[in-house]
Amino acid sequence: MIKINAYALILLTTSSIPFFIKAERATPSARPHISVREDIPGIRSLFLFRPETARPLIELSDILLARESSLSRAEREIIASFVSYLNECKFCCTIHTAIAVHLLDGDAKTLQAVKDDYLSASISEKLKTLLTIAAKVQKNARSVTDEDVQRARDQGATDIEIHDAVLIAAAFCMYNRYVDGLRVWTPDDPKMYAERAALVAQHGYTNLHIPALKKIKKQNSARPHISVQEDIPGIRSLLALRPEIAKVHSELVGTLLGGESTLLRAEREIIAAFVSYLNECKWCCTMHTAVAVHLLDGEAKVLQAVKDDYLSAPISEKLKTLLTIAAKVQKNARSVADEDIQHARDQGATDIEIHDTVLIAAVFCMNNRYVDGLRAWTPDDPKIYEERAALIAQHGYGISTKGELKVD
């Protein structure tokens, strides 16, 4: 039986967040990998399953897609649906296409044209340049070039718009993997998406104290694609540009990696470092490797063994099965099989642990693309990572022991 806590009840009842539509499954289909409400479709069944992570995920969607921006809501939904289309995530692509169509007063042809060939679609030249960047973020964020960013600027895109286009693309690489990696119910009935789209179009999607950012003398390297504070390394320079996103990001990562869990903090950091290694994101891999090593009392050989061949590494059999799931989420979330889930259960993994593994892997597919897509400064000096790792190991990321959000 699934327990629904107070925040889940808020998700179900509040007027500021559209309510969950219950529906009967029209035909039998593959069951979700974990025990979620099967009468609630898509990502919302996962939100009910894990309300602690639902809040920052919903807040992030609302900030990126529904709140004030110089990009229209329709343009932002087009980016979300386009990336979901490239990732072949049926639920996310269909719902965000439906929302964009609703915001465009029923103009479905534009959305279809974007999927067929966005460069020929009847959208602004600026949006075309942002979709080019988003497509590169989806496939390989490091492939975003200065020329891509300059073309967007030439069409009037601001640094905030470029930033948000990259983060929307990165976020939907996370959301898509989250939905498909846990194989949630994806209805076929278009009316369900249309009803939900109308609600979202109308209503939207409804830190421990982090030590002051230490300024560091930057060595010569490629400049970030947008104007950020260049003496702050990695993802923190990007989050400093968007404090409202920094707040929910801190809560999400803090809950997943530093919050209460039956998985050790070191195990969760290993999953984050491993996925970042697979995505070849130097900043995230180095940072979370350093945190894991610190939590393992300096045992760097374990982390190297995980990267070399995790199945032979000196880690628990349960963690090996979870890393197998994480690796599949990183590459193609739809490839997670019933057998993968059963292997994890056979080694003692709970549904919450499997859920959190999938979400950690999905979140770091977002974080890696966010950092690399905007080419945030990635230092070479290991001391920078070690100092930050010691702080994180001691204090966490942004959630107090009582679950209260603390902000600088």
Question: How do residues 83-101 score in pLDDT, each as one tens digit?
Answer: 999 999 999 999 999 999 9
Domain edge (last residue) among 153, 179, 203: 203
Domain edge (last residue) among 184, 203, 222: 203
pLDDT value at residue 9: 35
Looking at the fold, whether 156 and 280 belong to one and the same domain comes out as no
In a domain? residue 220? no
**% of the chain exceeding 70 in pLDDT:** 87
Question: How do residues 212-260 score in pLDDT, each as one tens digit?
Answer: 334 444 444 678 999 998 788 999 999 999 999 999 999 999 999 999 9
SS3 405: strand
pLDDT value at residue 222: 77
Mean pLDDT of 115-129: 98
Looking at the fold, whether 104 and 243 belong to one and the same domain comes out as no
CB 238 within 8 A of CB 268: no
Looking at the fold, whether 132 and 31 belong to one and the same domain comes out as yes
Looking at the fold, whether 187 and 246 belong to one and the same domain comes out as no
pLDDT value at residue 221: 60
More confident residue, 19 or 33: 33
DSSP assignment, residue 107?
A: -
Place 23 in a pLDDT band, splitting at 50, 70 and 90: very low
Domain edge (last residue) among 203, 221, 255: 203
In a domain? residue 213? no
The backbone torsions φ and ψ at residue 301, rounded to the nearest 5 degrees and listed phi first, read -60, -30
In a domain? residue 224? no
Looking at the fold, whether 193 and 242 belong to one and the same domain comes out as no
Distance CA(6)–CA(143), nearest Å, equals: 43
pLDDT value at residue 100: 97
In a domain? residue 196? yes
Looking at the fold, whether 265 and 311 belong to one and the same domain comes out as yes
Domain tally, the chain: 2
Q: Which residues contact residue 41 at a Cβ distance below 8 angstroms, ignoring those fewer than 6 apart?
A: 21, 23, 91, 184, 185, 186, 187, 192
Looking at the fold, whether 95 and 25 belong to one and the same domain comes out as yes
Burial class (CB in 10 A: 0-12, 13-18, 19+), 200: buried
**% of the chain exceeding 90 in pLDDT:** 81
Looking at the fold, whether 261 and 182 belong to one and the same domain comes out as no
H helices within 29-89, ranges in order? 43-49, 51-65, 73-86
Distance CA(288)–CA(291), nearest Å, equals: 5
Distance CA(379)–CA(315), nearest Å, equals: 29
In a domain? residue 407? no
Looking at the fold, whether 160 and 267 belong to one and the same domain comes out as no
73-86 and 90-103 are packed helices; what angle lies between their axes, rounded to 10 degrees? 160
Question: Which CA distances in Å does 343 have to 38, 315, 354, 355?
Answer: 23, 16, 11, 15
pLDDT value at residue 264: 97
CA 153 to chain CA centroid, Å, is: 26
Instruction: List the one residue out of 133, 152, 153 whose CA is nearest residue 144.
Output: 133
Looking at the fold, whether 177 and 268 belong to one and the same domain comes out as no
pLDDT value at residue 230: 76
DSSP assignment, residue 221?
A: -
CB 35 within 8 A of CB 337: no
Question: How do residues 325-382 score in pLDDT, each as one tens digit?
Answer: 999 999 999 999 999 999 999 999 999 999 999 999 999 999 999 999 999 999 999 9
Question: How do residues 47-97 score in pLDDT, each as one tens digit?
Answer: 999 999 999 999 999 999 999 999 999 999 999 999 999 999 999 999 999
Place 398 in a pLDDT band, splitting at 50, 70 and 90: low
**Is residue 12's pLDDT more than 70?**
no
Domain range for 326? 235-395
Instruction: List the one residue out of 163, 218, 144 whose CA is nearest residue 372.
Output: 144
The backbone torsions φ and ψ at residue 405, rounded to the nearest 5 degrees and listed phi first, read -85, 130
In a domain? residue 223? no
Angle at alpha carbon of residue 183, lines to 352 and 355, rounded to 5°: 15
In a domain? residue 227? no
**Is residue 288's pLDDT more than 70?**
yes
Looking at the fold, whether 152 and 39 belong to one and the same domain comes out as yes
CA 140 to chain CA centroid, Å, is: 15
The overall average pLDDT reported for the chain is 88
In a domain? residue 212? no
Question: For residue 160, what is the domain's CATH number?
Answer: 1.20.1290.10
Looking at the fold, whether 171 and 294 belong to one and the same domain comes out as no
Distance CA(92)–CA(69), nearest Å, equals: 22
pLDDT value at residue 15: 28
DSSP assignment, residue 399?
A: B
**Is residue 203's pLDDT more than 70?**
yes
